[in-house]
Amino acid sequence: MTRRVERGVRDNLDISKLGLAVQLAHAAADAQEMYDALVDIATHRWGQGETIEWYLQSRADSTHSRQLFGRFERMAINPSAFLRIVRMIRDIDVRAVLPAIHVPTLVLQRLDDRITPPCHGRYLASHIAGARYFEQPGDHSLRFAQSGDSDALCTEIARFLASITPGGDPDRVLATIMYARPVDPGISGIVTTVTQAPGIGPPDH
């Protein structure tokens, strides 16, 4: 089934014409419990598999699965970096740019997802023009085997790819321009980043 998806990407369209969404547009205020729990795990119990309660809760009662998650935590990222990612996710808010997306888009959503509940996927699908929404039972992460019906998921992706006909180049694009400059002119390699600017030149500050 995975080969069908890969073949659809290779044969049917330029991947730059495809938007595949499996995330959130905005970190909702009602997610505070999740953020607090993940921060506590990273601070006090990292490497023990505690994140399984959020990412793959259907296997949380399995000692073996929890051990595997502990290994995954230790090998994937250190706790301080994980904390930075959690804080970065809290700042995500791309709601304003969703109407500017004009590429074929498939939004994938798992019903039992504790990290990104269905309200997030439904929001994305309803605010991206022409987006297709696919919802199925299962835990959060599509990357973990047996966390849902993978065959049905791959079938939907293959069907989506097969339905796309290549179009012409758009007359508008969504782009971000980042300007960087040294913090200290005498020190190379240290730069600051700035937010999007309406013009292409460097900012006034």
**What are the domain boundaries of the chain?**
1-26+95-173, 30-91, 175-205
Between the two ends of the chain, the Cα-to-Cα distance in Å is 52
Tell whether the model's pLDDT for residue 71 goes beyond 60: yes
Confidence of residue 17 (pLDDT cuts 50, 70, 90): low
- The pLDDT value given to residue 97: 87
Q: What does the mean pLDDT of the chain come to?
A: 77
Tell whether the model's pLDDT for residue 101 goes beyond 60: yes
Percentage of residues of the chain with pLDDT beyond 90: 28
The CATH code belonging to domain 1-26+95-173 is 3.40.50.1820
Q: pTM for this one?
A: 0.70
Residue-wise pLDDT for 116-141, tens only, equals: 888 888 999 999 998 999 998 888 76
